[in-house]
Amino acid sequence: MNKFLNLAVAGVRQLVPYVPGKPVDELQRELGLTEIVKLASNENPLGTGSKVAAAIQATLPELTRYPDGSGFGLKAALSAKLGVVPEQITLGNGSSEILELVARSFVTPDHEVVFSQHAFALYPILTQAVGAQARVVPASNYGHDLDAMRASITDKTRLVFIANPNNPTGTLLPQAELEGFIAALPAHVLCVLDEAYYEFVDPKVRTESLQWPLRYPNLIIARTFSKAYGLAGLRIGYGISSVDVADLLNRVRQPFNSNMLALAAAEAALDDAEYLAQTLAVNNAGMAQLTSAFQELELEWIPSSGNFVSVDVKQNALPIYQALLQKGVIVRPIANYEMPNHLRISIGTERENRVFIAALAEVLRGV
């Protein structure tokens, strides 16, 4: 029993920590395997881009200095690329910190937070951490039911989380429906539009949301460099909001929350169109490779607009996950998302996908 439990604030006492995907080195230690394929954490399988590597190398001699606490260079680069003013930007230790900053800035134990069933696990964690009441709205076909979410809003609602595409299901909301929902929100309700997987969405159906905060000043858009830009290990993300909201978030934000290497790498990544194009090509090919295999194995999957896909293995997925670990393949069980028969598979390289498909086929045959 933790002897400090009674000293912790109420929301923290009941928290269950977020559990990330199993690390490669942990599985190597446990099973003594030398070759492991990790498809569990929606990481970019291409490795570090050449422009990012050069930027990091050039920054190394300056590591005895504090980073630019305002992130001037990265904000300027984001402003030029995205068509927003720097004062609208809040930099974070990954986009997850942007979500936390919003919760800490606006939500109290007197408030409610609305989000969907099967949505990102951080939403209930942040809600509970600030002592607020979560209102979890049942999903529709594994995605957000915006009508039901709208109906769940009360005078106590202060924040709505929407992930688009959603993690772990990959579902995507149509632009008109999503904007209509945001436009109808009461003035006392803020909305976080979590677009961590935005770059992977087919451009023909991609939501053009960046100018929305000018029309809907209670909207905060969260994006990240962890996925498509391949910087998960450096933890750098950003929020786009009205200037007034960004001003409040930056009051709460720690002054050096974005480290020097992350700032330099993110600025370089924004300028590496070739790396991003290769990432999207690998993702599209890998998605086709995996879903074709699922079809051959007579498994159903949730159509995904992210760099991952969730597949129904027609039974409790935990034993399948554990059997795959024995074969050196790490995927993600998602029973904690109320999806006990599903595994979430990150898109890897062609070879990584092939190794997973062969291992899954063997496990399902009982080999």
Q: What is the pLDDT of residues 56-112, one digit of tens each?
A: 999 999 999 999 999 999 999 999 999 999 999 999 999 999 999 999 999 999 999
- Write down which residue in 270, 299, 325 finishes a domain: 270
172 and 216 assigned to the same domain: yes
206 and 240 assigned to the same domain: yes
Asked if 134 and 124 count as a contact pair (C-beta separation under 8 A), the reply is: yes
222 and 236 assigned to the same domain: yes
pLDDT digits (tens, 9 = 90+) for 259-295: 999 999 999 999 999 999 999 999 999 999 999 999 9
- Write down which residue in 270, 304, 335 finishes a domain: 270
94 and 24 assigned to the same domain: no
196 within a domain of the structure (yes/no): yes
256 and 278 assigned to the same domain: no
2 within a domain of the structure (yes/no): no
- Expressed as residue numbers, the domain containing 245 is 50-270
- As a whole number of angstroms, the distance between CA 259 and CA 63 comes to 9
190 and 84 assigned to the same domain: yes
Confidence band for 16, pLDDT divided at 50, 70 and 90: low
122 and 198 assigned to the same domain: yes
Confidence band for 23, pLDDT divided at 50, 70 and 90: confident
Q: pLDDT at residue 35 above 70?
A: yes
Q: Which domain CATH number covers 155?
A: 3.40.640.10
281 within a domain of the structure (yes/no): yes
1 within a domain of the structure (yes/no): no
Asked if 191 and 184 count as a contact pair (C-beta separation under 8 A), the reply is: no
Q: Which domain CATH number covers 34?
A: 3.90.1150.10
163 and 235 assigned to the same domain: yes
Token pair listed for 15: 């928290």
Residues 6+ apart with CB under 8 A from 158: 106, 107, 108, 111, 112, 113, 132, 188, 189, 190
80 and 169 assigned to the same domain: yes
Strand partners of residue 134:
113
Question: How confident is the model at residue 5, as a pLDDT?
Answer: 66
163 and 190 assigned to the same domain: yes
Question: How confident is the model at residue 13, as a pLDDT?
Answer: 66
Give the chain's radius of gyration (CA, Å). Answer: 21
- As a whole number of angstroms, the distance between CA 152 and CA 110 comes to 16
What percentage of the chain reaches a pLDDT higher than 90? 89
- As a whole number of angstroms, the distance between CA 160 and CA 214 comes to 18
32 and 54 assigned to the same domain: no
Confidence band for 2, pLDDT divided at 50, 70 and 90: confident
Beta-sheet strand order (sheet of 342-346) = 300-301, 308-312, 342-346, 332-333
**Three-class secondary structure of residue 149 per DSSP:** helix
Strand partners of residue 332:
344
- As a whole number of angstroms, the distance between CA 234 and CA 240 comes to 20
- Write down which residue in 270, 291, 311 finishes a domain: 270
138 and 208 assigned to the same domain: yes
**Number of domains making up the chain:** 2
Q: Rounded to two decimals, what is the model's pTM?
A: 0.93
Q: pLDDT at residue 139 above 60?
A: yes
What are the Cα distances from residue 124, in Å, to 82, 278, 303, 339, 345?
Answer: 30, 34, 25, 16, 23
Confidence band for 22, pLDDT divided at 50, 70 and 90: low
In this structure, the chain runs to a length of 367
**Three-class secondary structure of residue 114 per DSSP:** strand
Burial code (b: 16+ CB inside 10 Å, e: under 16) for 13-24 equals eeeeeeeebbee
Which of 25-34, 296-305, 322-331, 341-350 has the least mean pLDDT? 25-34
Burial code (b: 16+ CB inside 10 Å, e: under 16) for 223-248 equals bbbbbbbbbbebbbbbbbbbeebbeb
